Structure 1
Amino acid sequence: MPVRVPFRVALASAFLLCAALPAGAVQLAPHRATYALSLDGSEPAKRVDAAKGQIVYELRGNSCAGYSVQLRQNTDLDTQGGRLSSAISTATWEDGSGSAYRFRVTNAVNGEVPEEADGVAERKGGKLVVKATEPEEATIQIPGNVLLPTQHVMEILSAATRGDPILQAAVYDGSPDGRKVYDTLTVIGKGLTDESGLEAAAKSGELAGRTRYPVTISYYEHGGKSQTPDYIISFDLFDNGVSRALKLDYGDFALRGTLTSYEALPREECPKN
């Protein structure tokens, strides 16, 4: 049975209710972060002997202009059936109030023609209306309180600062086919400031001394009855939206992501009234 690298990327690829958060409640830092991927040796791996790769994540914008995210993930897996290489690229833009969203996601496995998801989403009449152009043209209406990725991150941070240990939310990011919605359960630990054991990139510059929260997000089939998640993401989330100590658990195997570099990008302030 071949091992497939999941299309969906998890970072922030990243992550309320549909109302916008109060101004100034959460401030996300524009930044570029690079993570080295390796096989998590603490978890049993089925049919995967070794893994290596890299994630480059870039966030720009603010609550007024919206947030743009670009993410590239390259992963090489040594499996019992041979080498499996995956190249995932995502480019998204999300309105600061979570009312509009654009996405493009591609995934090429072993250099083959990539799978693609492309479209736009807008909130109308209490629904998230998605107009997809890839993998096929379609209009999808998603009812209920469904969060977009940056909304999800901000709500996790808001819950963390309130001391709330649990957050449940349906989340939509456009992958893998423009139709998928996941039910998520997020477990949030208490804030930490101790820097012992942190990567050099996580304790220098604007990250030095910042509070971070251990976070675990489990993703489930939307509306399903299974208590087993499709996959689980764990990481430390700094109070400005930067992540470290990634763990991407796909069930048959898990990857670790170590923060190797961090660059603060220019801040774009909201215009003053």
Structure 2
Amino acid sequence: MTAASRLLRHAHLSLAGGLLLASPITAQAADLIPHRAVYALSLDGSKAAKRVTDADGEIVYEIRGSACAGYSVKLRQRTDLDTDGDGDMSNDLTTTTWEDAQANTYRFRITNSVGDDKSDDTDGVAERKGNTLAVKLSKPDVASFNAGSDIVLPTQHIAKMLAAAQQGDATLEARVFDGSPDGRKVYDTLSIIGKGTRDQNGVEAPLAGLAAHARYPVTVSYFEHGGKTDTPDYIISFDLYDNGVSRALKLDYGDFVLRGTLTAYEELPAEPCPK
């Protein structure tokens, strides 16, 4: 496997790490907008890239559901890299997840392929058992294990993040399980949260209708739990609106950085909770 393909393999859930941070949260924490967003990917020039000379691709992100019934999230990320010495590389990542409103149950299905290689498939469910998280996998192999205690799921993570932002806290530490890349890893995360703004300067035209919503600049570093290095596996930056919409994505894989520019945004029909 070439160096560039390894980079793409390790990208796994760039958006499960990122846009899933814009995933649903409990009704008590915020009111999330079901929506579909499309982002164009390109190589970010703010940091010198190693072995990667150009990049393009697309992210399509869709969230549906309600605060009472839970939310489903579908994401597809296609990435094409031009590399120095390794030729062209392509990565196709698809994730489908569902999390209940209480963050007690999390279902995940991930398909990740690089070039013509056979895809890496992950399929499983995580359930809260007291203070611990029990995981059952059907792919890549059949297994059951305890992922540990004091672990938050993606919805809980964003709930804590928005709560911290609204309280003026600048940092948030959390141990997160999102199912990536093989259903077994837990990540220690550090979020740096900036001050909220409603300034429309530079905001993409499709998001003009969100002018009344505050957004917060967020940078999240992911470290493999129990790892032997202080270097994060990857870093994701984005503007997070208080209704769960994200813009200005930046996906830092260490050797190269991708920028995600929003090109389309569509609100989807709300699914009200039954009375």
TM-score normalised according to structure 1 size: 0.93
Residue 13 of structure 1: how far off its partner (Å): 4.3
Are the counterparts in 2 of residues 13 and 149 from structure 1 also a CA contact under 8 Å? no
**2:148 is aligned with 1:143:** yes
Paired with 1:269 and 1:177, the residues of 2 have a C-alpha distance of 34
Paired with 1:100 and 1:93, the residues of 2 have a C-alpha distance of 8
SS in 1 for 2:166: helix
| Contiguous gaps of at least 5 residues in structure 2 | none
Give the alignment's Cα RMSD to 1 decimal.
1.4
**2:152 is aligned with 1:156:** no
1:98-130 deviation digits (Å, cap 9, x = unpaired)? 000110000111132100110111111321110
Query: 1:172: which partner in 2?
Result: 177
- The equivalent position to 1:257 in structure 2, one of 243, 255, 260, is 260
Q: What pairs with 1:1-273 in structure 2 (closer than 5 Å)?
A: 2-3=3-4, 4-5=7-8, 6-11=11-16, 12-15=18-21, 23-80=27-84, 81-202=86-207, 204-205=208-209, 207-272=210-275
Paired with 1:200 and 1:48, the residues of 2 have a C-alpha distance of 31
Q: How many percent of aligned residue pairs carry the same amino acid?
A: 59
Are the counterparts in 1 of residues 14 and 251 from structure 2 also a CA contact under 8 Å? no
More helix by share: 2
Paired with 2:255 and 2:217, the residues of 1 have a C-alpha distance of 23
Paired with 1:53 and 1:115, the residues of 2 have a C-alpha distance of 20
- Aligned residue pairs, count: 265
TM-score normalised according to structure 2 size: 0.92
SS in 1 for 2:220: strand
| Contiguous gaps of at least 5 residues in structure 1 | none
Are the counterparts in 1 of residues 233 and 253 from structure 2 also a CA contact under 8 Å? yes
Read off the aligned partner of 1:14 and give its amino acid letter.
Answer: L
Are the counterparts in 2 of residues 195 and 209 from structure 1 also a CA contact under 8 Å? no
SS in 2 for 1:111: coil
